Amino acid sequence: MKIAVIGFGAAAVGFLKEVDPSNDVVVFEMNKDIFSSSISGIRADGKLFVSSEMGGDLEEILYDKKLQKDIVDYYSKLSETEPEIGSRENIEELEKQFFINGFKLVESEFFHIGTDKLKIFLKNAHSEFSQKGIKFKFNSFVKDIEVSNNIKIIYLDRENREEHEEYFDKVYIAVGRSGFKLIDTLSKKYPDIILSNTKVDLGVRFELPDIVVKELNDALYEFKVKFKSSNGQLVRTFCNNPSGYVVTEKYSDFITVNGHAIHDQKSTNTNFAILVTHSFTKPFNDPNGYGSYIAKLSNILAGGDKVILQTYGDFKKGKRTKKLWKVFPTLNQNEYVLGDLNLVFPSKTSQSLVEFIDNLNKIIPGIADEENLLYGVEVKFYGKKLDNNLFENLKFIGDCSGHTRSIVHATAHGILEARKLKN
Ligand SMILES: Cc1cc2nc3c(=O)[nH]c(=O)nc-3n(C[C@H](O)[C@H](O)[C@H](O)COP(=O)(O)OP(=O)(O)OC[C@H]3O[C@@H](n4cnc5c(N)ncnc54)[C@H](O)[C@@H]3O)c2cc1C
């Protein structure tokens, strides 16, 4: 069977690892090689988790901890590293403290690979798949797809600036969240594939000295907590990076913030995202557009292609930050402007962020220090939830399906779809 996989990210890794090599498989990736693309967790940071409470909503993955653990082992083996983990000491007491202060600690085991070691993983995975006979077409941006008895892929060869068409028996779309343009094109053409489209997460990347959160970092490595603010919004932490670095994430027409940690190079700061879920009801149906506009607004206020940095004290007072003196940013100086995030966020979002940080300070004194740093904005697009039962020969795997939100779940989704093909 002639099979195309669109995108080389976590879902593609799972699919290619599992697919029967007797098939003729071609991977189309818009970037120029396996390493390029900052907008993918298998190229930055690489925090893997085993949990039945997060990472996606497919029950066959959530409740199969063996599958999740096997995936962690696969990434560790191919990255030739021993992942960093938390000691899980004193976890019951921490759980209790979070609970009585209005938080829910999400149950999970974490394994951190590191941006540097992911390069080794990508090299080894690419060589394993190439030896299996899988072909890779880099610099190939898939613009459109037409579904009939077989499937036509229309793609742009970015190197030669030529458009090509190719036909396949079966196509697996694995374009992640950065592939939202292709998903938008297909959902306009085939509106029945959309099951729901209601949410976007907006917030900040928070940075503070390691010493304030050392106990938490040592016990958990990644602490994931959820909190309901007084206006009803759900607020959560995401992607904690002990001794890590804040980075920017470049989309085609806006820039957001993110964070990562490197296995063999450490800073003295910890960063994590604080995200507020924004849920919409009819007639509004473009949460990704909403998130993109807010991100663009922060860039406009920062002079075009930068993000905004503010101290927590100034954020609470609604004052532009003019100088820093106690906590120093790990983001490059030429990528941010000191400013006021209250000009960017709706007031209820700012209110939820302040309530979250002030309540967290009861458990971790020092979190709400006036000099800790907020970078904005951080956005997490959920992706429309897509129906994989509509077409027999076209499937959506990983984050672009709207059903996964993590490396382990996206990889598992790829594995499960490849197994279905064998049956
Ligand atoms: C900076 C960053 C850090 C993250 N860190 C973590 C983490 O530590 N742990 C965790 O569990 N999750 C993390 N995530 C989330 C995680 O990366 C995703 O959940 C996971 O990678 C999803 O896998 P995927 O295969 O669906 O998409 P991706 O891994 O994003 O792969 C999609 C691929 O498709 C390509 N593509 C997109 N559009 C097209 C097109 N039209 N034509 C051809 N190719 C295309 C992209 O270039 C990309 O290579 C992080 C995300 C980001 C952005």
Q: Please give the pLDDT value at position 307.
A: 98
132 and 220 belong to one structural domain: no
- Please, what is the average pLDDT of the chain? 93
Q: Please name the amino acid found at residue 235.
A: V
- Give pLDDT tens digits for 179-204: 988 998 999 999 999 888 789 999 99
- CA-CA distance, 319 to 287, in Å (whole number)? 28
- Give pLDDT tens digits for 239-287: 999 999 999 999 888 999 999 988 889 999 999 999 999 999 888 888 9
- Report the pLDDT averaged over residues 218-237: 92
- Give pLDDT tens digits for 318-359: 999 999 999 999 999 999 999 999 999 999 999 999 999 999
CB-based burial of residue 87 (10 Å sphere; 0-12 exposed, 13-18 middle, 19+ buried)? Answer: exposed
Q: Please give the pLDDT value at position 170.
A: 97
Ligand 1 pocket: which residues have CB below 6 Å? 6-12, 28-31, 37, 39-42, 44-47, 141-142, 174-176, 178-179, 182, 239, 249, 258, 398-400, 405-408, 410
Q: Which of 257, 161, 270 is nearest to 207 (CA)?
A: 270
393 and 377 belong to one structural domain: no
Q: Return the structure tokens found at 72.
A: 């962690």
65 and 214 belong to one structural domain: no
> In this structure, what CATH number is given to the domain that contains residue 66?
3.50.50.60
- Contact between 120 and 79 under an 8 Å Cβ cutoff? The reply is yes
- Contact between 177 and 10 under an 8 Å Cβ cutoff? The reply is no
Q: Return the structure tokens found at 146.
A: 């037409």
How many residues does this entry show for the chain? 423
Tally of domains within the chain: 2
- Give pLDDT tens digits for 111-159: 989 888 999 999 999 999 999 999 999 999 999 999 998 999 999 999 9
**Candidate from 16, 54, 407 with most ligand 1 atoms within 8 A of CB, to mutate:** 407
Ligand 1 atom showing the smallest separation from residue 179 Cα: 38
- CA-CA distance, 284 to 288, in Å (whole number)? 11
229 and 118 belong to one structural domain: no
Tell me how far CA of residue 284 lies from CA of 54, 195, 325, 385, in angstroms.
27, 15, 43, 16
214 and 162 belong to one structural domain: no
Distance 366 CA to ligand 1 centre (A): 33
- CA-CA distance, 108 to 6, in Å (whole number)? 30
Q: Please give the pLDDT value at position 381.
A: 86
337 and 367 belong to one structural domain: yes
Is 301 contained in some domain? yes
151 and 165 belong to one structural domain: yes
| Top-confidence residue, 147 or 110 | 147
Q: Return the structure tokens found at 405.
A: 């939100």
**Candidate from 5, 16, 18, 40 with most ligand 1 atoms within 8 A of CB, to mutate:** 40
Side by side, the strands of the sheet bearing 199-209 are 103-105, 225-228, 234-241, 269-279, 199-209, 373-381, 307-311, 336-338
> How many Cα atoms within 13 Å fall on the side-chain side of residue 420?
16
264 and 306 belong to one structural domain: yes
- CA-CA distance, 127 to 261, in Å (whole number)? 26
69 and 206 belong to one structural domain: no
Q: Kindly state the percentage of the chain with pLDDT values over 70.
A: 99
| Top-confidence residue, 68 or 195 | 68
- CA-CA distance, 22 to 12, in Å (whole number)? 17
Residue 38's pLDDT band, with cuts at 50, 70 and 90, is low
pLDDT score of 39 more than 70: no
Ligand 1 atom showing the smallest separation from residue 182 Cα: 41
Q: Please give the pLDDT value at position 346.
A: 97
- Contact between 15 and 174 under an 8 Å Cβ cutoff? The reply is yes
Residue 408's pLDDT band, with cuts at 50, 70 and 90, is very high
Question: At residue 70, what are phi and psi to the nearest 5 degrees?
Answer: -60, -35
Distance 8 CA to ligand 1 centre (A): 8
Question: At residue 281, what are phi and psi to the nearest 5 degrees?
Answer: -125, 175
Name the residue at shortest CA distance from atom 12 of ligand 1. 406
Name the residue at shortest CA distance from atom 8 of ligand 1. 47
Distance 151 CA to ligand 1 centre (A): 24
Range of the domain at 43: 2-92+109-194+386-422
- CA-CA distance, 352 to 359, in Å (whole number)? 11
Distance 383 CA to ligand 1 centre (A): 12
